[in-house]
Structure 1
Amino acid sequence: MKLYHHPLSGHAHRARLFISLLGLPHDLIEVDLAAGAHRTPDFLALNPFGQVPVLDDGGIIIPDSNAILVYLAKKAGRTEWLPDDPQGAAAVQRWLSVAAGEVAYGPAAARLITVFGAAYDADEVIARAHSFLGKLETHLTGRRWLVGEGPTVADIAIYSYVARAPEGNVDLSAYTAVNEFLRRIEGLPGFVPFAQTRAGLAA
């Protein structure tokens, strides 16, 4: 099993973190984004969108971080990470959609400005990040995990960009339940940290 990734990509970190939590043997292949390795014909054959991460499981190619989470949970038969029942599966899918929406256009976008020089409106994306974080704080108040009684792929999908939100000038200090949630993820056996940068509030 090979995981094509970049250490500063939160999407790639989701996949790397979950593989590690499952204890699955794998090789990490770093894609040099600065050199344009994601735009080469070889990489575009793996993912025409030119994005990391991409999972190669013996020739089965899975692009997209959330798709990789689902694939790995299903392949490993780990229903505690991805419930089979309709209500549980739908609840997890809701948060995968949030990761692809509110997280991507809030804390992830804010970090893209400071870490990668993206041309977003900083005030706008930081405001979106705090709007999302307020909803996340409310949801997590009085509960340990996003769905059910234990961690699921929903938690993994949300973690990386929230944990590094301060690098995008998004202050997490007011979100007690969110910070406790982050520490719970970091305490899981097999946890691997997301690379830190000296950007934004983390400078």
Structure 2
Amino acid sequence: MSSQLRLHRMHLSGHAHRAELFISLAGINAELVDVDLLNGEHKKEPFLRLNPAGQVPVLEDGETVISDSNAILVYLARKYAPDWLPTDPAQEAEIQKFLSFAAGPIAYGPCAARLITLFGAPLDPVFAQSNSDRIFGLLEEHLQGRDWLAGKAPTIADVAIYSYTAHAPEGNVSLEPYNNIRSWLQRVEALPGFVGMTASKVGLAAE
């Protein structure tokens, strides 16, 4: 694999963990570069030349620079691990649905709840909790009788949804009512190459 791959990340970022997890699951050789969000490194040069939005993760593959965690998953799968993003139109559409789910409902539910708890983000905890309950109810129903989110094998859909779901309890969102979700999380964690995200209860400054 390319020795030029570099992933700029922050160890507590679920978005960054998506990319890091997939790199490990797919056996892709990449350098992990820590970005000091607590001291604002992501809002200064030279990081802003990589991503003017000032957010992690960012992937460098030679001259190619990609930001947005889901875009990184698609790029890496297409170029290095195509089994994780099948080209069957119906299955690819199903995977895209879950990428959108990760970018929207997950972001406003368990991701937001975790941002409030860990980073002191000025968000509404009641809204985040109610969103999380609704989202996990849908996910629990979808996983009934299924091992994976989109098809009979793991795909980048599972990677995109995993991080903030697994760490929902850090945002005071319980996973106890959701047997199917917890079983699915265990299947992801049993995959060869799985790497977890750092768990923390430490209050941090907002990004």
What is the TM-score with the length of structure 2 in the denominator? 0.94
Instruction: Give the residue type in structure 2 aligned to 1:191.
Output: F
Which blocks of at least 5 consecutive residues in structure 1 are unaligned?
A: none
Which residue, out of 2, 6, 11, partners 2:6?
Answer: 2
User: One-letter code of the match for 1:87?
Assistant: A
- In 2: Cα distance, 1:49 partner to 1:181 partner: 33
**Are residues 1:71 and 2:75 paired?**
yes
1:53 counterpart residue number: 57
Matched, 1:193 2:193: no
Identity fraction in percent: 55
CA distance in 2, matches of 1:83, 1:12: 23
For the Cα contact (< 8 Å) 2:26–2:81, is it kept in 1? no
| Match in the other structure for 2:45 | 41
Q: Aligned with 2:66: secondary structure?
A: strand
The answer to whether the Cα contact below 8 Å between 1:82 and 1:89 also exists between their aligned partners in 2 is yes
Q: How many Å separate the matches in 1 of 2:127 and 2:153?
A: 34
Contact 1:55 1:62 in 2 (8 A): yes
Contact 1:5 1:29 in 2 (8 A): yes
How many residues align? The count is: 199
Q: SS of the residue aligned with 2:84? A: coil
Deviations 1:143-179 (A, max 9, x none): 0000110000000000000000000000100000000
* Residue of structure 2 in register with 1:143 after alignment: 146
1:123, 1:105 → 2: CA distance? 11
SS for the counterpart of 1:105 is helix
1:198 Cα deviation after fit: 2.5
Q: What is the letter of the counterpart of residue 20 of structure 2? A: R
SS at match of 1:75: helix
Contact 1:15/1:68 (CA < 8 Å) preserved in 2? yes
Q: 2:158 aligned with 1:164, yes or no?
A: no
* Preserved CA contact (<8 Å) 2:25 2:192: yes
Quick one: which amino acid aligns to residue 129 of structure 1?
Answer: S
> 1:124-160, CA deviations, whole angstroms, 9 ceiling, x for partnerless residues?
1011001000000000011000011000000000000
**1:97 partnered with 2:100:** yes
Q: Partners of 1:36 and 1:42 in 2: how far apart? A: 12
Aligned to 1:180: 183
Aligned to 1:18: 22
- Matching residue of 2:118: 115
CA contact (8 A) 1:168 1:199 kept: no
Q: Which 4+ runs in 1 deviate beyond 2 A?
A: none
